Chains A and B, each alone.
Chain A
């Protein structure tokens, strides 16, 4: 089983739609969780951290379920500019922080 798993998609949605991505992780000792965004042929950039209580940043909501070992990202009112690949990142703990990336979920928002 891969350490971090995501549905690669693509998710093809119209502008204004709400879309949700899930990500599962295998290491129950993982402590830090993030969502990154990667545009085509560019480096990943931090979108938001994921906190145990859930957190929101504008149209984006991230949630963590430690019992089931998954995190989610919800995007409301999708914009064309949201089209990108969304990477789930889990950091191992115990000594060195090692960011482990999921394969990414591709989102295409169309007019």
Chain B
């Protein structure tokens, strides 16, 4: 079965610090991969998606970037975090059918 591993589960970072969230996939090859952010009480906002190694599409302009150095690895980064970057970050994968999610990272920028 397909599994997304995402870590850490929670993270508290100061404003201006860098960020790196990693997501790895098991049980499938060449999946589409997605990063979503969910602010408190809000819906899921798609940040980035990738259809293959090195291929990244950005959905919204922001302070974040993404990379896919390997087929089953998807990384979300920031050079300098803002307070507004706080939220619940979810990595998801899909093969053209339903999407399956990692357990999420709850990021608080202080």
Contacts and interface: CB of A to CB of B under 8 A. Distances in A.
A102 B43 contact: yes
Interface in A16-63: 32, 34, 41-46, 49
Contact of B104 (A43, A89, A101, A103): A43
Given A96-B51, A99-B34, A43 B46 contact: no
A80 interface: no
B46 A46 contact: no
Interface residues of A, number: 20
A99 B43 contact: no
Interface residues of B, number: 24
Contacts of B57: 96
A55 to B, nearest CB: 14
Contacts of B92: 99
Nearest to A48: B98
Nearest to B103: A43
Contact of B102 (A34, A43, A49, A87): A43
B84 to A, nearest CB: 19
Name the 6 nearest CB pairs between A and B, nearest first.
A103-B43, A43-B101, A101-B44, A99-B99, A43-B104, A46-B98
Interface of A: 32, 34, 41-46, 49, 87, 89, 96-104
Given A99-B34, A103-B42, 11 more contacts: A42-B104, A43-B90, A43-B102, A44-B44, A46-B99, A49-B98, A87-B43, A96-B32, A99-B92, A101-B43, A104-B43
